[in-house]
Amino acid sequence: MRGLHFRKNPTDLRGLVEAPPRRSRFAWGRWAYLALLAILLIAALIYVGRNMVYLTRQGQVLFKKIDIQPTSEIRVLKFFVQEGDTVQSGDTLFLYWDEKGYRRLVEQESSRQQLLRDLREKILEEQLLRRKLRRLQREYDRIKQEVLLGVFERSRLYQLENQIEDTRLAIQKVRGMIHILRDQLAKIPKEVKTWAGSFRGDSIQPFLAPERGIVTRIEKGEHEVALAGETVLTIHQIDGVYVRAFFEPKDIRYLHEGDLVTIIFPDGTRGEGRLDRFYPATFPLPPEFQKRFEPTHRSIVADILPVDQTSLKKWQAFYKMAVKVSIRKLFR
């Protein structure tokens, strides 16, 4: 077995001594982590703090509106306004006539014409009966003379006397009918007697604007019939802008009439309002606030008015838009 011999002379290989790593004076990674952690912590505190201190719910900017609805069936003849027009109280909105009253007068006029026809027939019948009576009386006088001369028997006079009596009774009956028809004509209202010439002119009425506002929608057209309770047009009061807010039933303990409320508009700006009133019943959320495929959610509804009139134009610019309503719960 060959023995192992190791070289004892020093080797020429030398180890490479690495320089120690240089430590950075600022630990960027650590500080970035701490900063991120601090931001998340602050955001969480702000979120929790806001939910504890402030109550935020949804709302919608609306105008007070007036729906023009007739109390009876009418026919609209002519509009004097268009959508978007500003009207003052007392301005003429449209002309109309009462359709039910119109039909009633038409029926009464039809009855009047029928009565006039019946009256003319009875008057003509009376005239014919009187002619017949005069003819019978002449015939009676002639036959009477001939009976005295012995030309005819007396029974012929009896026949004529019966015919004359029947004719007189028929005349009395017709005169009674004429009297009844004239009484019925006298009971017809005066406006019906002149209906053909004046009804359409005299009975047309103007509908006046009850309040100042903007005509936002016209539901009916000219010469169209509007039934009782149907909306002809809608007027929005430009000075009656408000926010309708929707609160959860559990929020009621934080809400009081007269509380100051912060309105957050879609563009991020804020406005101040005052809680004006609550509605005693709960209402379903508007469709734009209601989540699809979920049961209808009911809320407590409150109206919020601007604190000052100078902010009206700003509120008006966001009509029908969704806003956020924030009210302080603590430290009031």
Q: How far apart are the first and last CA of the chain?
A: 102
**pLDDT over 90, % of the chain:** 6
**132 has pLDDT over 50:** yes
pLDDT band at 71 (very low <50, low <70, confident <90, very high): confident
Residue 22 pLDDT? 62
**Segment 291-306 mean pLDDT:** 81
Q: Say how far residue 4 (Cα) sits from the centre of its chain.
A: 115
In tens, the pLDDT along 1-42 reads: 455 555 555 555 555 555 666 655 556 677 777 788 888 888
Nearest of 78, 74, 103 to residue 93 by alpha carbon: 78
In tens, the pLDDT along 211-232 reads: 888 898 899 988 888 888 899 9
Is pTM beyond 0.85? Reply is: no
**pLDDT over 70, % of the chain:** 80
Count Cβ atoms within 10 A of the Cβ of residue 195 and give its class: 0-12 exposed, 13-18 middle, 19 or more buried: buried
**Segment 245-261 mean pLDDT:** 84
**193 has pLDDT over 70:** no
Cα distance between residue 29 and residue 32, in whole Å? 5
**86 has pLDDT over 60:** yes
Cα distance between residue 143 and residue 157, in whole Å? 7
57-95 burial: b if 16+ Cβ within 10 Å, else e: bbbbbbbeebebebeebbbbbebebeeebebeeeeebbb
**247 has pLDDT over 60:** yes
Residue 121 pLDDT? 92
